[in-house]
Amino acid sequence: MNPYLPKPAVIKEIHREVEGERAIKTFRIRPIDGNFDFTPGQTAMVSVFGKGESMFAISAYPDIEFTVMRVGRVTSALHQMKKGDTVGIRGPLGNGFPVKEWEGKNILLIGGGVGMAPLRSVLHYILDNRDKYGGLTVMCGARTSKDIIYRDELEKLMDGEDVWLSVDNEEEGWFKLNWDKPEESQIPDGTRKLVGFVPMVVAAVKPSPENCIAVTCGPPVMIKFVVQNLLKLGFKEEQIYTTLENKMKCGIGKCGRCNIGSVYVCKDGPVFRYDFIKKLPPDF
Amino acid sequence: MEFLCSEEDIVNWLASKLEEYAVYIPSEYGFERASSSDELKLNFPLPAISIKSLFFPHSDVLMRFRGKEIVEALPDEEKKIVLTKACDANSLKVLDAVFLSEPVDPYYERRRKNTVIVTVECEQMCYGGFCKDIGIEPEGDVVIRRRGKSYCVEVRNSELLPEFEKFEACDEGAEETAKGTKENLLNIEWLEDAFESEVWDEVSRFCISCGVCTYLCPTCHCFDITDSGRVRIRTWDSCQFPYFTMHTSGYNPRPEKKHRLRNRIYHKFSYFPQRYGIVACVGCGRCVRMCPSRIDIRELVLRRD
């Protein structure tokens, strides 16, 4: 088995998540040989032949989907592709979330921007195995309501689960949190759409740490303050998981660029528990 | 088993292998394939380009794309005999740890598997080298040490023993005194508490980020993978370049020279030992000799009395 060799896969569906300069699309793909078993939170290299390959979180379960922002050479080429086109897929790579260990627990998913992508694979997995888990809370924020990925899906989910959406700037119909003391915000009953940065949403909604696993993904500065606020609510470091990202090429712990200390994010990660992350050298 | 041979005996043995094996011998530049016995000798230089180029070349085609088809481009297997010095022979332990651990790198593995390493011990350290200072001992299938006008040939690969049994055995007592013992000067414990030290600023100040230290280093193995037309290639890369770690977003976890130089030293002397149990430096001194800015790794990792 050559670990560098992608296998051909066909784009089955393309969903536009966000329009504009930094457009985001979700691609559903299927390897031609049909084989691709993965755990939520794992990643894969997607090839556009002749352009290169890039690492993405798998953003669904059990379907294979990638939510891709158009920023570089490979992602721009991907955004030009159509349903039925062929790409390459290499993986799954990395460790994934320990979803089996979490059975019986309450799950709190906190995503910011395109960082919601890896969390959606956990979300799908839990919804598929709903009876094995306790309460489910989802908090998903973005700059504006147009930037919220999977918005339709999350709004539908509000009927049955505890789902919170948030935006950074004021918008009509969205409840503004107390900017100075978010923990003192009086959120009206039934309101699920908030104005405030994601860490403020955590402080305002006050999820209980009791028998709970919190998983957060998003920009580094968001993660930092989300974790601070979770710790303030009484979450222990061992209850908090996140994913790290770095520039990657090989995806198998050899090419040397994604290391943080002796850890390779591509192979040993991207999922890490917060107490482990704290022990890494501050090199990310 | 150790045998007493003349240089002619050893050259004749190598010459007898020229048909079955590709025999590589170092030149000033790099490892060259010998085409006749005239090119075989035991006093060869330490080449600028290290042994890694034989197994992990500076650029390598990984695969080709033909329409929707992906065609694997594995190198041909080649039976090799490689004449080398102790430093480069030891560097293979580091490269093996990376490329032969799971998942095995098939490009490296193909080139590496049918290789006989013949190591000729240096009588003294070269300018800039510090192999003996950090306890590097000769490694290989055959290790050759000078003994007066002859050579003591230690055959470690038992499959090769029959080819040397016609020679007289080496006197082992004399061998011990010849080897001697030297104090290990490796001084890396201070790294445990030096991540935020000012030393990285000071040492990297005059670095020009040329990457020579990494390209010439026999243990540095960082690489890039890029598509060039319908071909996907792997090329040597360097952790000393700012783009090496830069995210597409523009964020860079190692934006400054001090971060990159620090990572190179920690990778070799802290991260690699944590992961694979060995230091990823063999004291060959190439980075010391060839750095245009005269950055000297010995000042960071050797005890100075």
Q: What is the pLDDT of residues B171-223, one digit of tens each?
A: 765 555 555 567 899 999 999 999 999 999 999 999 999 999 999 999 999 99
The whole model's pTM is what?
A: 0.94
Q: How far is CA A133 from CA A128, A155, A248, in A?
A: 10, 21, 33
- Put simply, the answer to whether B98 touches A254 (Cβ < 8 Å) is yes
Burial string for B259-291 (b: 16+ CB within 10 Å, else e) reads bbbbbbbbbbbbbbeebbeebbbbbbbbbbbbb
Is residue B259 within 8 Å of B196, Cβ to Cβ?
no
Cβ atoms of residues A87 and A126 within 8 Å: no
For residue A261, which residues of chain B lie inside 8 Å, CB to CB? 266, 270-271, 274
Identify from A249, A258, A260, A277 which residue to disrupt to test chain B contact, counting B C-beta atoms within 10 A and taking the largest count. Answer: A249
Nearest to A88 among B70, B239, B246 (CB): B70
Closest chain B residue to A84, measured at CA: B68
This model of the complex carries an ipTM of 0.93
Pairwise CA distance, residues A259 & A253, whole Å: 8
Q: Is A281 on the interface with B (CB under 8 A)?
A: yes
Q: Which residue of chain A has the CA closest to B223?
A: A255
Pinpoint the alpha helices (H) of A81-214.
Answer: 116-128, 151-157, 198-205
Q: How far is CA B60 from the centre of its chain?
A: 18
Cβ of A216 under 8 Å from any chain B Cβ? no
Between the alpha carbon of residue B213 and those of residues A121, A187, A260, A283, the distances in Å are 42, 59, 21, 22
Set of chain B residues whose Cβ sits within 8 Å of the Cβ of A249:
223-225, 237
Residue B227 has its nearest CB partner, among A50, A257, A282, at A50
- The pLDDT, as a whole number, for residue A156 is 97
pLDDT by residue (tens digit) across A112-135?
999 999 999 999 999 999 999 999
d(CA B107, CA B99): 9
Beta bridge partners of B84: B119
Which range among A164-178, B57-71, B131-145, B174-188 shows the weakest confidence by mean pLDDT?
A: B174-188
